[in-house]
Amino acid sequence: MTDADTDTATQSRSEPRGVEDDDTAYEPSPDPLLQVRDLELHYPITKGFLRREVGRVRAVDGVSFDIGRGEALGLVGESGSGKTTTALSILRLEEPTGGNVIFDGESVRDLAGGDLRAFRRRAQLIVQDPNEAFNPRMKVGKAVAEPLALHGMTDEDRRRRIVEDLLERVGLSANDAGRYPHEFSGGEKQRIAIARALVLNPDLIVADEPTSALDGRVRADILGLLDDIRREFDISVLFISHDIDVVRRFCDRVAVMYLGEIVEQGRIDRVLSAPKHPYTQVLLGSVPSLDPTDRTLPSPLTDTIPDPADPPAGCRFHTRCPAVIRPEEIDLEPEQWQRVAAFRFTVQAGELPESIDITGSGPIDESTVRDALDLPERLPDQGIDDGVASAIEAIASGELERAGEILEEGVPTVCEQSVPESITVDGRTVACHRHDETMPGVADPEIMKPFR
Amino acid sequence: MTTPNPSTQTTRTDSQDHPLLAVEGLTTHIETEGGTIHAVDGVSFQVDRGETVCIVGESGSGKSVTCESLTEIVPQPPASIVDGSIQFDGEPLHDVDEAFMRRIRGNRIAHIFQNPQQALDPVYTVGDQIVEAIQIHETVPETTARERAIDLLRQVGIPSASDRVDEYPHEFSGGMCQRVAIAIALAADPDLLIADEPTTAVDVTVQARLIEVLRSLADGGMSVLLITHDLRVVAALADRVLVMYGGTIVERGPVSSVFTQPSHPYTQALFDSYDELSRRSDRSARDEIPTNGCRFRNECPHAVDACAEDDQPAFHAVARGDHSVSCVHYGPSGDPDAILEASRDARPVTSAEVTDDD
């Protein structure tokens, strides 16, 4: 950690909060095509004969963003973060349980009948696996023309001309209309899928991992084609991908999702070059550098992604966050605090280091646990040291759950106390207590390594 | 927290003057209805003890068939290994009987694949599967094998190993399944681990942990032959790199040298694909890849008549160490400066180049 890093951290924390409180949850677009507000999709967990609801999986939990006309927004995050569910709820392929989606001024959730069909003409979906997108027994010309026929174009000659034209536009030839899907490579099939998405002149394309089944130059080609097309036809794109490289090259803005929520969003260059949310930092830092001399990879406090049916209180990332905020009354060095917090959340996740195997036969002593967790023999904060000691005692006697309870009480964090609001920091919105100067506690400067 | 203890690894001090694996002129053809595919066409390379070698290339470059030919797990037919010699620990591995190959496979050379769920049997506990792998290769009592299974799970970073040993594959996440697959591969304490796209199906955060597991195995003295299309994974793990295109190796060298100065036009194109949006929307995958000369010449911006000569352009030294490239422009009569100049813009993005425009 250098002094310069510390400076930036202090600076960003002391920056004023966004002025318009209502508008801080997303970055409003001057000319929005799509406005997503507090979108929510909870799946009920039911039990028994009466299918009584016993819980809810909060797959998408209050997501807000805008996509301007001709703009590409990337949605990134780990599997299970709710990226795809967000996309499907926008298209109403899944029914949202809350919030609103405004498409070109109209509320998508209120659409029915012909209006819904019209919306579905204007918003198209491209999926990851082009092999699953086509009927193997239908010639690709017919597959591309099918949406036209479904939406009422009866003139077969006209359909054929449009399709042949489009196939050429996506880099294939008009003759390819007479071939079957298996005659094409994966990249070519994705080109055909793009042609089919374009056939109805959409205003919005939702692309769910469109290049993830492809590699190397074919991936770059498809990305280039999609980019040409969106600029030529001024199409807005919601681009879902776990591949940061692809999002970096294709998108104007990016939104980072974690456990059903957006934790940071803003212009692609700002977010990727200087991420502010620790989750964004961990995510970006986990992408190996192309510089083989830089082989450091960040470690979250635990590897366990919490259950979306029972998300952590406060900031949902706090159980894994290497930059979790220390309450003022706890007197520890930054590194010590990080290790103690890691101890708490590792125990609570039931994910002890492999060298401490409480289910094994051998006895466990205190020093083994302290060594494995890199905890010093004594911690300067008496209260914390007592808590850690009695938790270790509980672990040694095989009571992992009780150890978790002891630590939950003995090692409190600021981040779990309240849900962070989205605030504007350095040209992007971020939902993290570290950037909210009204929060109590000590946000130790830059425990995180800066992103490379 | 997932770093296995290196001391549990067998230290391999028996290093002799021959490399662990030496492959010479390996050629594998695949018969299809449309004719013979020259999947691997005269590939030569070595893997030293404790070294991690990465083969990088796109789908169809022949990187997987190369590795599957080593232990003959490539299905024959349709494939047939038509030429080449393979020396493993000084002994020939080609033209051996099936019984001998079975002893090598798993015992001394182990494979892991992209999709671990397919490698695991859903109806047996992971412990049973590791115990089975141990007992196939060595006669040990059940309890000893089970103890060792738990140790292996710990070594690949699975928490609460003695609990989880009795769980079924579906109770593990994708990244944890890959760790189990690695544990099974390690059961017989192999000298060489062949890993085919082991991190392709997982999230980057999980990939980071698997990279750490593979690194710790290499640190413990194991040789790793890693196949990937992802240059970033190569940068994170490799000691040396082999770049494959059209069944041939086009560039080879230490990772630092290849990544600072990618020299073959194909390698440069591969780096480009990380850096910019391709404007070549007209590229057709149906272009025939030639089976002689430089396989890349039809797509190469620097192609000349000489590229079509011979079997494959000779390897010429590029820079430091044993970095060399199979390209006529680097030969005595060639002028590589134009190519290297063109690659200026194609250099990998480093932290210095990512700037905040505040």
Q: Is-contact A181 A213, C-beta < 8 A? A: no
- pLDDT at position A57 is 86
Number of independent structural domains in chain A: 2
| Domain assignment present for B269 | yes
- Looking at the DSSP assignment, which residues form a beta bridge with residue A35? A66, A102
B203 touches A: beta carbon within 8 Å: yes
Selected residue with higher pLDDT from A373 and A414: A414
B260 close to B323: Cβ distance less than 8 angstroms? no
The count of CB pairs under 8 A between chains A and B is 166
CA–CA min distance B234, chain A (Å): 8
Q: DSSP 3-state assignment of B248?
A: strand
Whether residue B184 sits in one domain with residue B257:
no
CA triple A273-A279-A281, angle to 5 deg: 30
Our count of domains for chain B comes to: 2
Do B208 and A286 count as a contact with CB atoms less than 8 A apart? Answer: yes
Encoded tokens for B352: 């210095």
Q: How confident is the model at residue A26 (pLDDT cuts 50, 70, 90)?
A: low
Residues A136 and A224 in one domain: yes
For testing contact with chain A, the best of B260, B281, B287, B349 (most A CBs within 10 A): B281
Residue B181: inside a domain, yes or no? yes
| Residue A302 within any structural domain of the chain | no
* Mean pLDDT for chain A overall: 83
DSSP letter, residue A398:
T
Where among B146, B163, B189 does a domain terminate?
Answer: B189
End-of-domain residue from the set A273, A288, A320: A273
Residue B14 domain-assigned (yes or no):
no
* pLDDT band, residue A387 (cuts 50/70/90): confident
Question: Does residue B132 lie in a domain region?
Answer: yes
Q: A40: distance to nearest CA of chain B, Å?
A: 24
Q: Are residues B182 and B270 in the same domain?
A: no
Do residue A294 and residue B355 have CB atoms under 8 angstroms apart? no
Q: Is residue A387 part of a domain?
A: yes
Q: Is the domain of A112 the same as that of A37?
A: yes
- pLDDT at residue B342 in the model: 65
**Which among A255, A273, A291 is the end of a domain?**
A273
User: Is residue A162's pLDDT more than 80?
Assistant: yes
Q: Has residue A320 been placed in a domain?
A: no
Chain B residues touching A274 at Cβ < 8 A: 356
Tell me: do A204 and A338 sit in the same domain. no
Residue A399 lies in a domain: yes
Contact A321, A300 (CB under 8 A): yes
Is the minimum CB–CB distance between B355 and chain A shorter than 8 Å?
yes
Q: How many CB atoms lie within 10 A of CB B189?
A: 17
User: Closest Cα of chain B to A114: distance in Å?
Assistant: 36
Do the domain assignments include residue B285?
no
Interchain contact B201–A (C-beta under 8 A): no
Domain that holds residue B251: 247-278+295-346
Of B322, B236, B321, B283, the closest CA to residue A297 belongs to B236
CATH number reported for the structural domain that contains residue A65 in this entry: 3.40.50.300
Quick: pLDDT tens for A67-102. 999 999 999 998 888 999 999 999 999 999 999 999
What strands, in cross-sheet order, belong to the sheet with B35-47? B35-47, B21-32, B79-88, B91-92
Domain shared by A227 and A367, yes or no: no
Lowest mean pLDDT among A159-173, A306-320, B205-219, B278-292: B278-292
Say which residues have a Cβ less than 8 Å from residue B72's Cβ, sequence separation at least 6. Answer: B81, B101
The answer to whether residue B308 sits within a structural domain is: yes
The answer for B 107-136 residues in CB contact with A (under 8 A) is: none
Which pLDDT belongs to residue B24?
Answer: 92
B255 plus B179 within the same structural domain: no
Q: DSSP readout, B115-165?
A: -HHHHS-TTS-HHHHHHHHHHHHS---HHHHHHHHHHHHHHTT-TTHHHHT
Q: Is residue A280 part of a domain?
A: no
The verdict on residue A317 lying in a domain is no
Indicate if A59 and A153 belong to the same structural domain.
Answer: yes
Q: Report how far residue B152's alpha carbon sits from residue A355's, in angstroms, rounded to the nearest whole number.
A: 12
Flag whether A444 is in a domain.
Answer: no
Q: Does A368 lie in the same domain as A229? A: no
* Tokens (6 digits) for B36: 């013979």
Cβ of residue B282 closer than 8 Å to a chain A Cβ: yes
**Residue from the list A249, A298, A354 with its beta carbon closest to the beta carbon of B159:** A354
Which chain B residues contact residue A216 at CB under 8 A? Answer: 57-59, 229, 270, 273
Residue of chain A whose Cα is closest to the Cα of B164: A359
Regarding whether A252 and A339 lie in a shared domain, the answer is no
- Report d(CA A170, CA A168) in Å as an integer: 5
Closest partner residue to A224 among B158, B215, B281, by Cβ? B281
Alpha carbon A363 to its chain's center = 42
Q: H or E element: which one contains A44?
A: strand A32-47
Whose structure tokens read 């020939």?
B92
Option in A79, A185, A215 nearest B229 (CB): A215
| Chain B (11-40) residues lying within 8 Å, Cβ to Cβ, of chain A | none
Interface ipTM: 0.82
Q: Do A188 and A56 lie in a common domain?
A: yes
Å from A226 to nearest chain B CA?
Answer: 10
Task: Specify whether A260 is located in the same domain as A349.
Answer: no
Say which residue, A379 or A354, is predicted with more confidence. A379
DSSP letters for A266-283: EEHHHHHHS--SHHHHHH
Residues of B in contact with A353 (CB under 8 A): 1, 159
| Residue B358 one-letter amino acid | D
For chain B, positions 47-76, list CB contacts with chain A under 8 A. Answer: 57-59
Alpha carbon of B142 to those of A357, B106, B130, B131, B165: distances in Å?
A: 21, 19, 11, 7, 14
Contact B228, B302 (CB under 8 A): no
**Which strands form B109-112's sheet, in the order they lie side by side?**
B109-112, B192-196, B223-228, B52-56, B240-245, B248-254, B324-326, B315-317
Query: Is any Cβ of chain A less than 8 angstroms from the Cβ of B239?
Result: no
Angle between helices A140-150 and A186-198 (to 10 degrees): 20
Candidate ranges A296-310, A365-379, B185-199, B236-250; pick with highest mean pLDDT: B236-250
Mean pLDDT of A400-408: 87
The CA distances from residue B64 to A343, B229, B243, in Å, are 41, 11, 13
Q: Is residue A347 part of a domain?
A: yes
Q: Give the pTM.
A: 0.85
Q: Domain residues for A341?
A: 334-410
Which of B156, B173, B189 is the C-terminal boundary of a domain? B189
**Max mean pLDDT range (A245-259, A438-452, B96-110, B297-311):** A245-259
State which residue of chain A sits closest to B285, comparing Cα positions: A185
Q: B275-300 burial, b if ≥16 CB within 10 A, otherwise e?
A: bebbeebebebeeebeeebbbbbebb
Q: Which residues contact A312 (CB under 8 A, 6 or more apart)?
A: A306, A318, A319, A416
pLDDT tens, position by position, for chain B (358 residues)? 444 444 444 444 444 578 899 999 999 998 888 788 888 999 999 999 999 999 999 888 888 899 988 888 888 888 888 888 998 988 888 778 888 888 888 788 988 888 877 778 888 998 899 998 888 877 888 888 888 888 888 878 787 777 888 888 888 877 788 888 888 888 888 899 999 988 887 788 888 888 988 898 898 889 999 999 999 999 999 999 999 999 999 999 999 999 988 999 999 988 888 876 655 544 544 557 888 889 888 888 888 888 888 888 989 888 666 899 999 888 887 778 877 776 654 444 443 343 333 3
3-state SS assignment for residue A26: coil
Asked if residue A236 has pLDDT above 90, the reply is yes
